[in-house]
Chain A
Amino acid sequence: MMVEEIIDGIKNKDIRSLARAISWIEKEKDEGIELIKNLHHYQKENTHIIGITGFTGVGKSTLLSRIIERYRSMGKTVGVIAIDPSSPFTGGALLGDRLRLSMWTDPGVFYRSVSNRGRMGGLSRMIGDIITTMSVFGFDKIIIETVGAGQSEVDVIKIVDTSVVVLMPGMGDRVQFAKAGILEIADIFVVNKSDLVGADRVRQFLEEMLNFKTSEKRDSMQEEWKIPIIMTIGESNNLKGIDELVEKIDEHFDYLIRIGRLKEIRKRRAKNEIEMLASDIMLRICKNHSSDLDEYASKVANKEIDHYTAAKKIVEKIMMENAISNTSRYT
């Protein structure tokens, strides 16, 4: 299929085209880059990008299914990107989150499983490109589900508008809460499986932490978002707190628009992406200078110069040669 065909398909809400476009992005094909170049200006203005994250087993996928159901009952369309880890040894992955989905044939729901494929920095760029594509397709809500462990997944959560961090009772003590970096990026906390023993204690820990946090930066003049803690049960025969959660997610989006933060977030996302692409290009050029690289590597190994100086010298040399014109892949 041709790139133009796919772009037309996406604009006309053809599922097959959207699915193929995402595959191009996922498989890092040149068509994927071509696609984004020709598609990005059709992005919808008010697509709400939501991240759901939390440790394995807290019930993210089940909760996600409930959130989708709620949005569908409100008439909103939903695109989902579910990220699962791939094995660092075989590269294989079991993308298991689709199992929990309840709405498999609803035309207003598009669900895509993605593996992190052992990527380091590239994951958030890939997800960013998928978001762009889904936004052109026209979903009201785009939801990204991820375990959120490790730097690359935290980077993914940084590109969303509203991040929901899911916890459950019995997951560890105060110290664990203090050291888990994921807690700092929450716009909304969820204590799922809140019928289990210890749910109130989790809530109490979170409240203490949030009080501590707000007392840190009370001098700001801007309207503050008060991070809510929502107690939920995602299991379908015992549902609790889902409507409240969805309400808060939407409230947070309204808040971002009201105070003008949304533009800022989108700009920050773009800045990250440009930085990563630029450093990719630099790395590629650097690797093309393999003879220089070898030469400096020997020098460093022989203790003639240090690696900081060597790296600086290579970059200086590349800039002198203006080798930028040799890179065709991203131009």
Chain B
Amino acid sequence: MNMNRSKIKILVAKPGLDGHDRGARVLCRFFRDSGYEVIYTGLHKTAEEVANAALQEDVDVLGMSFLSGAHESYVPKILNLLKNNGVDLNEIVILVGGTIPEEHFKRLIDLGVDGVFIPGVPLNEISDFIDLKIKEKRDKSEAQHYFVGTKLIQKNPV
């Protein structure tokens, strides 16, 4: 039993109108079986609903799944709502997953997203990244890792 993970709370969100949540549900199941606490929002959530759930549940990880291109408008909106409600984005791990075009990766990372996952990434790489990122944020470490598409990259701000 992984007691450290059981104290990590993940919100898996489906913002927007796309109705495909097989991927999100597979992830929920995987996260649960890996020892995390998972909350799933269900389909068709507005930016306000997702931000409010993340706020009230005080989650450690916010994962958003998009298969329709809606990440372009939803991700900045949700992150802004969180900030406006006093959430420190340096305290939570922000993940985006789904069909995200390669040319959007950088923009999402610049917005404050820690990891962007496209189809084909092995599930355990996602959980390894979550554990790594939680530790980095907790220790406020200098070295920062990001997950971009299918690769883990390191970026040192200095």
A16-B55, A19-B58, A113-B39 known; A104+B45 contact, CB < 8 A = yes
Give complex CA distance A94, B42 in Å: 13
Contact of A92 (CB < 8 Å), options: B38, B45, B55: B38
Residue A91 interfacial (CB < 8 Å): yes
Instruction: Given A23-B58, A92-B6, A93-B6, check contact A87 B32 (CB 8 Å).
Output: yes
Shortest CB-to-CB span from B138 to chain A, Å, is 12
Is B157 an interface position by the 8 A CB rule? no
> Digit string of A78-90 for contact with B (CB within 8 Å is 1, else 0)?
0000000011111
Chain B residues in 8 Å Cβ range of A179: none
Q: Mark B50-64, 1 if CB is under 8 A from A, else 0.
A: 001101111000000
Q: Are A98 and B39 in contact (CB under 8 A)?
A: yes
- What is the distance, in angstroms, from A55's C-beta to the closest C-beta of chain B? 21
**Is B42 touching A90 in the complex (CB atoms < 8 A)?**
no
Q: Which residues of A lie under 8 Å from residue B144 when comparing CB positions?
A: none
- Residue-wise interface mask of B (25-48) relative to A, using a CB-CB cutoff of 8 A (1 in contact, 0 not): 000110111111111111001101
Would you call B143 an interface residue if the criterion is a C-beta within 8 Å of the partner chain's C-beta atoms? no
* Cα(A142)–Cα(B127), bound, Å: 35
The answer to whether A104 touches B6 (Cβ under 8 A) is no
Q: Which of A9-41 contact B (CB under 8 A)?
A: 14-16, 19-20, 22-23, 27
CB contacts (< 8 Å) of B154 on chain A: these are none
Residues of chain A with a CB closer than 8 A to B153's CB: none
With known contacts A14-B86, A86-B6, A95–B39 Cβ distance under 8 A? yes
- What total of chain A residues lie within 8 Å of the partner, measured CB to CB? 29
Q: Are B32 and A104 in contact (CB under 8 A)?
A: no
Interchain nearest-CB distance for B32 vs A (Å): 4
Which residues of B are found within 8 Å of A111, using beta-carbon distances? 53, 56
Residue of B nearest to A19 (CB): B58
Q: Tell whether B85 is near chain A: CB-to-CB under 8 Å.
A: yes
A121 near B: Cβ within 8 Å? no
Q: Tell yes or no: A72 within 8 A of B by CB.
A: no
One digit per residue, 1 when the CB lies within 8 angstroms of any chain A CB and 0 when it does not, for chain B 1-26 equals 11101110000000000000000000
Q: Is the CB of B56 within 8 A of A112?
A: yes
**A110 at the A/B interface (Cβ < 8 Å)?**
yes
B118 interface residue (CB < 8 Å to A): no
Across the interface, which residues of B come within 8 angstroms of A23, CB to CB? 58
Contact B32 A90 (CB under 8 A): yes
Residues on B with C-beta less than 8 A from A331 are none
Residues of B within 8 A of A (CB): 1-3, 5-7, 28-29, 31-42, 45-46, 48-49, 52-53, 55-58, 85-87
The 7 A-B residue pairs with the shortest CB-CB distance, nearest first, are A91-B6, A19-B58, A104-B49, A92-B32, A16-B86, A92-B35, A90-B35
Question: Can you list 12 A-B contacts with CB-CB less than 8 angstroms, sorted by A residue number?
Answer: A19-B56, A19-B57, A90-B34, A91-B2, A92-B31, A92-B33, A98-B57, A104-B53, A105-B52, A111-B53, A111-B56, A112-B57
